[in-house]
Copies of this chain bind each other. A is one copy, B any other.
Amino acid sequence: MTELEQYIHSYFGVSKEEVSRISDCFHLETLEKGDYFLRTEKICNKLSFHKSGLIRVYALEDGKEITQWISSKGYFLTDLSGLIFNKPTRYNIQALSDCEIYTITKQDYQNIANVIPRWHELEKLFIARCFIFLEERIFALLSMTAEERYQLLFNQQPELFNQVPLQYLASMLGITPETLSRIRKKIGKT
């Protein structure tokens, strides 16, 4: 089984036969460092499973880049407002390093439900989990200091800190690079 199949199997609890029917709809793509998966104002027309490398989701606001998320191996990648509602995105999604992703086109994506009757239900469960994840992120932003949010991110995704420019992680935490640098100095970086 590919990583994609393993993921679908273990996360969705789908039978092996269904798994392979789903994964057949995906094809392996590569992104080179700097390539864009999606650019702002475009309508996202694909969904990908992140196999390797790092990808940054960011938006430009008042001349500043706001990093919303850094995707790494094991995440799904898309812009839901485009994929589901045909709306242009505010985000740029760009490879921070060479990447491999398994991609399904919007057409194939919309067709999966015909192949896998439970697809909408699985999707619902998946998006619900994403919703809860964002809810927790909001809670952290409302209730924690910059330092606490740093510790949380560091515990959850330590691998990011030696691969992603710290300025992007700072932005994702809602602070400036200088503040992140001082927090790390104070704490001792590990």
Contacts and interface: CB of A to CB of B under 8 A. Distances in A.
Count copies of this chain in the complex. Answer: 2
Nearest to A113: B121
A134 B124 contact: no
Interface in A52-86: 59, 61-62, 64, 66, 68, 80-81, 84-85
Nearest to A171: B142
A108 interface: no
Contacts of A132: 80-81, 85
A11 interface: no
A135 interface: yes
B66 A125 contact: no
Interface in A108-150: 113, 120-121, 123-125, 127-132, 134-135, 137-139, 141-143
